[in-house]
Amino acid sequence: MFLAPIIASMSAGLAGATAAIGGASTLATIGSVASAGAGVMSSLYQAKVANANASIAEQNAARTRQEGAVKAQEGDFSARAEMGQLLANAGASGITAGVGSKLLQRKSAAELATRDRSYTRYGAETEAVNFKQQANDLRAGGKSGVFFSLLSGAGEIGGSMISGAAKVNSQKARTITRGIS
């Protein structure tokens, strides 16, 4: 944990600083440091989970692309078999397959197979891109969670110190006022 030494040094420094402004304030600030540390640790754990989920999303993207390629290839095989059947039927009927409507039928089947292959690959690529975006979003969310946890912790610690200083100043003002009266 790269943040553990930072949190430990913040705790030590804040404990020394808050000792000057009173015991209750010291405890409040130490509590804030502990809370901030727990928040950071929780955010780090969530960032690791987000990274693991991002890796899974990237694996899904690769698998989707591969499945799309296999489905496109299977479609090509089916189209070739269909065109072969057209040729066989034409030959069995004594029709010349290279002319007229049989030629147009073969050409149409080839064009449909090409279109189907393109649609299959496009669908797989679109799904893969969505998985990649999901991976990027997960990673970004994990990083921002840690940042905002640090920011929140710093605000909480600062608030505790300001509150403690205000209490000490208020007590000193009362003591001075009593001494004057």
Displacement of CA 133 from its chain's centroid (Å) = 8
Q: Tokens 């009362």 correspond to what residue? A: 174
Tokens of 68: 């799309």
pLDDT tens for each residue of 124-168: 999 999 889 988 888 887 766 666 666 666 667 666 666 665 565
Q: Give the predicted TM-score (pTM) of the model.
A: 0.54
Give me the average pLDDT of each 10-residue run along the chain (181 residues): 55 53 58 67 78 88 92 88 79 71 76 88 90 86 68 65 62 68 59
36: burial class by Cβ within 10 Å (0-12, 13-18, 19+)?
buried
Label residues 167-178 b or e (16+ Cβ within 10 Å = b): ebeeeeeeeeee
In a domain, 162, yes or no: yes
Q: Tokens 């130490």 correspond to what residue? A: 30
In a domain, 181, yes or no: no
In a domain, 180, yes or no: no
In a domain, 164, yes or no: yes
φ, ψ for residue 176 (rounded to 5)?
Answer: -65, -40
Tokens of 147: 């940042």
Q: Which domain holds residue 117?
A: 4-175
In a domain, 85, yes or no: yes
Report yes or no: 6 and 146 within 8 Å, Cβ to Cβ.
Answer: no
User: How many domains does one find in the chain?
Assistant: 1
In a domain, 79, yes or no: yes
